[in-house]
Amino acid sequence: METRLINKDKLAGIVGKIAEDMPVFAPVKEEDNVLFKQLEKGQAPLISFANSKNAPKNFFFPHSERMMKYTRTEQGMAFAGAAEGAKESVLFGIRPCDAHSYLLLDMLFDQEKYRDPFYIDKREKTVVISLACVHPPYTTCFCTSVDGSPAASDGADILLTEIGGTIWRNSSRPRVRKLSKYLPMLPRRMTRR
């Protein structure tokens, strides 16, 4: 497990740079709502917010999704091809309770008997970055009642925890390496084995 420090003021810019090279889904302010959406060019994610109006699970379960295509021929319907696979992407700014829920979804959609290839493809190609709830936003939060915690890293590839003007980055997953070029670090580096 590796831990590093990132200047909080630079975090939105780092995420913006990642979004130039691959799709990044993050919390953004839209009117009076915080929504998880794909960042557009030059758009910065929210770093400090209570909770979002829409659930980040919609990234893995969109309202509609092309799975295959059929065309009408003189002989009837003909299979015209399967959907494209998922793209390498980043899901940024989810809460630890949402990240924990992905472990439960993994148990359901990645079983020996039943494997959802669309869900698995997205999970394997997505780096999940969660923001710890240093001050849980609501008294109604229930992460501890489902074996989670406001600062748990379960289900996330990177957990970011705010410590004053610095973000503590904790990661233990191999797929995080592809993001290392975007993550400039402060001189202090800690590694735990």
Question: What is the rounded average pLDDT of the residues 167-173?
Answer: 69
Q: What is the pLDDT of residue 137?
A: 62
1: pLDDT confidence band, cut at 50, 70 and 90? Answer: low
Instruction: Flag the least confident range among 54-58, 102-106, 164-168, 179-183.
Output: 164-168
Share of the chain above pLDDT 90, in %: 21
* pLDDT tens for each residue of 70-82: 888 888 888 777 7
Closest CA to 129 of 34, 30, 6: 6
CA 100, CA 147: separation in Å to the nearest integer?
9
Q: What is the pLDDT of residue 64?
A: 81
Q: Tell me: pLDDT of 33 over 90.
A: no
* Contact criterion met (CB below 8 Å) for 96 and 148: yes
Q: What is the pLDDT of residue 186?
A: 42
